[in-house]
Amino acid sequence: MDSSGLQIDAGVLDRFGREIPSDLYGTKDFERVLSLLSRTETVAAHLTEYLKRTDSYGKTIVFCVDQEHALDMRTALARLNPEMMRQHPNYVARVVSDEGMVGRGHLDDFQDPEKQTPVILTTSQMLTTGVDAPTCQNIVLFRSINSMVDFKQIIGRGTRVSEEHGKYWFTIMDYVGATQLFYDPDFDGEPVRVTKTTIDEEGNETEIQDSEEGTLEPDLEPETSYEISELERQIGELPRKYYLDGVDVYIAGEQAFELDPDGNILRTVQFTDYVAENVRRLNLSAEHLRQVWSLTEQRAEILEQLRHYGIDPEHLARVTHHEEADALDLLLHVAYNAPLVTRRERAEKLRQKKANFLNQYTPAAREILEALLDKYADFGIREFDELPRLLQVPPLNEFGSSQDIYSLFGGAAELLDAVDAMQKHLYEEE
């Protein structure tokens, strides 16, 4: 609906029985005139998925339209991250003027590189300046930005480098098209520096706060910075909105952008091209990638490097509609134009061409390996990385306890050796 607008016809009532004026509503209206909780929840789900496939502890600031919108976003994110919230009650926190000293405490903890939580802050106007968060990894734009000064101040919350903590870059997630300001002729790349000076009665400077030095305190004034539209006046009490429920909202598409080699402008990259470039940056040939993929530790290292760039094979499979493809084959297909092979095809090939490998085990042990192979065909190579868990779920738990299964192979180490060998056979070329 941000890309094409939301048409409201005459007679549509909001949550409180008020008729919503018939009109075509767009991004600038959402959460200012027309509140759509389903839109907020959809973005919260998309952001949660991104953090899970990159870094669930990557510190993130979400810029919302107003304090109420920031509360809705905080609630949605908390609901979507129940495990994190159980471990860390402040995993998601709202920092706005209404939160007072509680919000200030959350902000202080967020700015401290040595404190793990809060991880996600939702806010509106309060954190645009005066926040020095050297480990802030993600800036999320979920409100329209019309001012170049505001845009540069918001983006500036992510530009601080922290060599000590290995932070040399950050990610902007834009749900409202605000990053079009990168292409504005007025955008020069330089951050907006804000200073506040306090003087005494004699005119002497007694205190200087500087946004670039991290000494500028966030503005705690009530957030009423935008003008009131005629439609808002018609609604009544400031700042009333219409609340429309039951609207189907979905992510229509994704684009990736990155700085050009000179670091001056953003260039658009097809997501598959973005993946291909970053796979090639690993300095692994297609052949070498095939060879090391079957090695659990090296595969985990490759996946971790890709995760730093927001790339996860499972997400790539969904985006390209190749959910049945093996993760290695999908990466090779995107990066090197290699043919796609499904996981089930690889599993069947192993059964047919490596029968001698399977036949060296007792019938009971072979059944275990066959069941593991079926798990791989259904869910992927990562299943082998969670072997202790797999032994406790159907159908493997039907063979007895983990110790019973280990004994079929002569011990836990021998079972691990058998699984490692099976992985190598899976990826052997003709």
Chain segment 141-154, per-residue pLDDT in tens: 999 988 888 888 88
Q: How confident is the model at residue 133 (pLDDT cuts 50, 70, 90)?
A: confident
Read off the pLDDT of residues 390-427 as tens digits, 9 standing for 90 and up.
Answer: 888 888 888 899 999 999 999 999 999 999 999 999 88
For residue 216, pLDDT over 70 is answered with no
pLDDT at position 238 is 44
Q: Average pLDDT over the chain, rounded to whole?
A: 85
CA dihedral 50, 55, 58, 60 (to 10 degrees): 10
Spatial distance between the Cα atoms of 91 and 211, rounded to a whole number of angstroms: 26
pLDDT at position 212 is 61
Q: What does the buried/exposed string (b/e) look like for 249-286 if buried means 16 or more CB atoms within 10 Å of the residue's CB?
A: beeeeeebeeeeeeeeeeeebebbebbbebbeeeebeb
Q: Residue for token digits 């007679």?
A: 11
| Helix intervals (H) in 128-206 | 148-155
> Taking residues 217-228, what's their average pLDDT?
47
pLDDT at position 227 is 45
Question: pLDDT: is 265 or 177 the higher one?
Answer: 177
pLDDT at position 180 is 83
> Taking residues 80-87, what's their average pLDDT?
96
Q: How confident is the model at residue 226 (pLDDT cuts 50, 70, 90)?
A: very low
| Helix intervals (H) in 205-360 | 230-235, 271-280, 286-293, 296-308, 313-320, 327-336, 343-353, 355-359
Q: How many CA atoms lie within 13 A of 413 on its CB side?
A: 0
Q: How confident is the model at residue 222 (pLDDT cuts 50, 70, 90)?
A: very low
Question: pLDDT: is 202 or 314 the higher one?
Answer: 314
For residue 207, pLDDT over 80 is answered with no
> Taking residues 354-373, what's their average pLDDT?
92
- Classify residue 239 as exposed, middle or buried by CB count within 10 Å of its CB (0-12, 13-18, 19+): middle
Long-range CB contacts (within 8 A, 24+) of 257-261: 257/179
For residue 329, pLDDT over 90 is answered with yes
For residue 224, pLDDT over 50 is answered with no
Q: How confident is the model at residue 69 (pLDDT cuts 50, 70, 90)?
A: very high
